[in-house]
Amino acid sequence: MASWKKIIVSGSIAEFNHISASGDIVPVSDGVSNLGSAGQEFQDLFIDGTANIDSLVADTANIDGGTVDGITSLTAAGDLDIGSHGFRAQTLTADNQTSGNVTIYGANGLLTEDSDLTFSGATLSATNLTTTGTIKNMALVSGSSVSTGSFGRLQTVQANASIGGNIVTIGGTLTTGGTLTTAGNFTTQNNNVTINAAGAARTLTLNESLTIGDGNDGTLTFSAASKTLTVEDTSVVNQDLTTDANVTFADVSATGTVTVGGDLVVNGDTTTVATSNLIVQDAFGFFATGSAGSNVDSGIVVQSGSFVNSGSAFYHDINAERWSVAKSVAATSTAVTPLESVVTVKEPGDNGAPADADVEYGVGEMFINSDGTIWIYS
């Protein structure tokens, strides 16, 4: 059926319900015409191909595929989520971060800086370091290491490392205020070991093994520099050895001179002096001092004859109560039978005859007056 149709001429405004084109739809001039306006927007735009847009302003953008490139600036008013895909950039800058702080993954994968872990030049610094595995192949480790639990193994491969490239096993606490250097293994078990170099740098050198027994605390002090303490064979020091101490030894041997500044007390059964000559500066020698309650024979025995530890005795016989002599007396004898008695002489200083009261020792005593008269008690 015939009807009226509107004729569109140049400069007029046309309204269409639907436009289909088998060719291109182009503006009359480049860059001067709009498709829609701010108050009259098209709803959806469907393009099967490439959209060449000089500037894109969109409330939302959903790009399901392809490549977005050549972007010089991208500003977002909210979060950007690229899903489970990679994000690649030559440089990445984060606002409001401190230079040198290391970034750590936080809750829900959020990257945040940590002031306890910093990196400067070639140095990584950490306030605390905790590991359940192995720290290895590091050229230099400096600072401090504190373990609040089990410190399994610390190993270095450096030839000049402070632990010599070996393994240190620490069962408790190791504390050092300076340098700890070992060329081999350093092992401590069960309890703590504290070494305090007081006053100045100190050196402890062990060429052999050293075992400190389960005793009491003590102090070993040298009176001057370059002093040496030598312990031969199996030796036990269980008493005070200072100059004012009372020291007890089972046996003492000296190859040099022994000087006793005080008294020398010998409580044994036999005292042996193996010298060529015995010099005693004392005016008197007091023998048998322990026999005050029960007197015994006492004197000296001189080696004579061919029997070892036997000789002639000059002694005081307790039964005769006078000085006597005897032969073949054993060196270990405590009682002797007199062979003869020693003759004693009394000089009264006058010419009177001796009386019974003048007898001191008994038969054989001599009494000589001033005029030469000789008396013998018999």
- Token code pair at residue 229: 């303490």
* Model pTM above 0.85: no
- Token code pair at residue 251: 């046996």
Q: Which of 354, 359, 356 is nearest to 344 (CA)?
A: 359
Distance CA 167, CA 155 (A): 6
Task: For residue 297, count other CB atoms closer than 10 A to its CB.
Answer: 22
DSSP letter (8 states) at residue 140? -
Residue 164 is predicted with a pLDDT of: 45
Q: What percent of the chain has pLDDT over 90?
A: 17
3-class state of residue 286 by DSSP = coil
Reply yes or no on whether the pLDDT at 138 is more than 70.
Answer: no
- Token code pair at residue 20: 């289909």
Distance CA 278, CA 101 (A): 89
Asked if residue 122 lies in contact with residue 136, where contact means CB atoms within 8 angstroms, the answer is: no
Q: Can you spell out the DSSP letters for 330-366?
A: ETT-S----SEEPP-EE--SSSPPP-GGG-SS-TT-E
Q: Say which residues have a Cβ less than 8 Å from residue 188's Cβ, sequence separation at least 6.
A: 169, 170, 171, 172, 174
Asked if residue 369 lies in contact with residue 352, where contact means CB atoms within 8 angstroms, the answer is: yes
Length of the chain: 378
3-class state of residue 291 by DSSP = helix
Note the Cα 363 to chain centre separation in Å: 83
Residue 205's pLDDT band, with cuts at 50, 70 and 90, is confident
Reply yes or no on whether the pLDDT at 364 is more than 60.
Answer: yes
Asked if residue 315 lies in contact with residue 300, where contact means CB atoms within 8 angstroms, the answer is: yes
- Token code pair at residue 192: 């703590």
- Token code pair at residue 152: 């399994």
Domain ranges of the chain: 100-126, 151-196, 293-342, 343-378
> Which residue in this structure is represented by tokens 């993954």?
105
Residue 140 is predicted with a pLDDT of: 56
Using a 10 angstrom Cβ sphere, with 0-12 exposed, 13-18 middle and 19 or more buried, the burial of residue 129 is middle
Q: What percent of the chain has pLDDT over 70?
A: 80
Q: Can you spell out the DSSP letters for 95-134?
A: TT--TTEEEEE-GGG-EEEEEEEEEETTEEEES----SS-
Residue 85 is predicted with a pLDDT of: 82
Distance CA 9, CA 315 (A): 171
3-class state of residue 310 by DSSP = strand
Residue 78 is predicted with a pLDDT of: 81
> Which residue in this structure is represented by tokens 């003869």?
340
Reply yes or no on whether the pLDDT at 157 is more than 60.
Answer: no
Residue 165 is predicted with a pLDDT of: 46
